[in-house]
Amino acid sequence: RKSVVRVTTGSQALDELLGGGIETSAITEAFGEFRSGKTQLAHTLCVSTQDINCGYFLFQLPTSMRGGNGKVAYIDTEGTFRPDRIVPIAERFGMDPGAVLDNIIYARAYTYEHQYNLLLGLAAKMSEEPFRLLIIDSIIALFRVDFSGRGELAERQQRLGQMLSRITKIAEEFNVAVYMTNQVIADPGGGMFVTDPKKPAGGHVLAHAVTVRLMFRKGKGEQRVCKVFDAPNLPEAEAVFQITPGGIAD
Ligand code: ATP
Ligand code: MG
């Protein structure tokens, strides 16, 4: 295994929960209720992963704000990436927002096949340039749209499995941290479909592919809570964090 690097989430409590941050050569998944901070963490990681990459502000960050050193690839399936959000987050980390944005390769995916082809293209790019982070927000959304018909679940899961093995290969081959968001499932209940914020979508196929599963929920006021849902080396504990203008923080 190549030397694993941990990327700070911006919250010390969350980093401690994760044993230091989001790790490279692994897949970290966040699922949970809407507005719980999954996409905001994606934006924060885009910045924090670069904190020792850009030569001229190399020394502006205390070493305690460790990061991953490399480019970022962002696959957006829901159209929720906001370059404007990167600016105050970069400023908080003492970084030049323009330089940070220049290091983010962004692509919007419109179908699951498009999503897969983007991954193939990224793998080629990663063999040429150093990347440290791959974000997929969300992994499942397009599968749910493209395989919405009855009787399509088996094929959906097969295609999802193919996509995930491609992602695992990227994580390991290029020593990249993969952060993906996931949705929660809707169960039929009382004649209606109700979402269950404690049940991640994607079934066993997704559960097996992911290294660290995190469940996010809203807490009091601006607080958010992250619980380790499933991870081989982490206790099933919780951490409280906040969403601030400067990104994820304590
Ligand atoms: P979904 O399931 O809908 O995709 P999510 O988990 O991705 O939800 P986010 O978009 O990450 O949710 O988080 C939304 C929350 O982030 C909102 O509560 C919003 O108030 C907060 N937020 C967004 N921008 C800022 C900001 N600039 N400053 C502080 N909080 C912000
Ligand atoms: Mg989101």
The fraction of the chain above a pLDDT of 90, given in percent, is 78
Nearest CA to ligand 1 atom 22: 243
Pocket test residue of 29, 33, 39, 250 for ligand 1, highest count of atoms within 8 A of CB: 39
- Of 105, 86, 106, nearest in space to 96 by CA: 86
pLDDT of residue 149: 84
Q: pLDDT at residue 187 above 90?
A: no
The answer, as to whether pTM is greater than 0.90, is yes
Query: Whose CA is closest to atom 19 on ligand 1?
Result: 35
Best of 9, 35, 87, 225 for a ligand 1 pocket test (most atoms within 8 Å of beta carbon): 35
Tell me how far the alpha carbon of residue 40 lies from the centroid of ligand 1, in angstroms: 6
Neighbours of 59 (CB within 10 A): 10
Rounded distance from Cα 160 to ligand 2 centre (Å): 20
Measured from the Cα of 36, ligand 1's closest atom is 6
Ligand 1 atom at minimum distance from 34 CA:
2
9-26 pLDDT tens trace: 999 999 999 999 999 999
Contact 223, 36 (CB under 8 A): no
pLDDT on residue 194: 77
Report pLDDT for 186.
Answer: 77
Cis peptide preceding 36, ω within 30 of 0: no
Residue 220 has a pLDDT of 92
Going by pLDDT thresholds of 50, 70 and 90, the confidence category of residue 1 is low
The mean pLDDT of 150-156, rounded to a whole number, is 92
Tell me if ipTM is over 0.95.
yes
User: pLDDT, tens digit, for every residue of 31-73?
Assistant: 999 999 999 999 999 999 987 543 344 444 444 444 546 899 9
The per-residue pLDDT for range 79-124, each reduced to its tens digit, is 999 999 999 999 999 888 998 999 999 999 999 999 999 999 999 9
- Cα–Cα distance between 72 and 135 in angstroms, integer? 8
Where does ligand 1 bind, in terms of residues with CB under 6 Å? 34-40, 243-245
pLDDT more than 70, % of the chain: 90
Can you tell me the mean pLDDT for 25-31?
Answer: 97
Residue whose CA is closest, atom 26 of ligand 1?
245
Q: What is the pLDDT of residue 161?
A: 98
Name 243's Cβ contacts closer than 8 Å, sequence gap at least 6: 37, 40, 222, 224, 249
CA of 199 to the centre of ligand 1 (A): 20
Which residue CA neighbors atom 28 of ligand 1 most closely?
Answer: 245
Residues with CB under 5 A from ligand 2 (ion): 38-39, 80
Q: Is 87 helix (H, G, I), strand (E, B) or coil?
A: helix
Q: Span 191-218, mean pLDDT?
A: 91
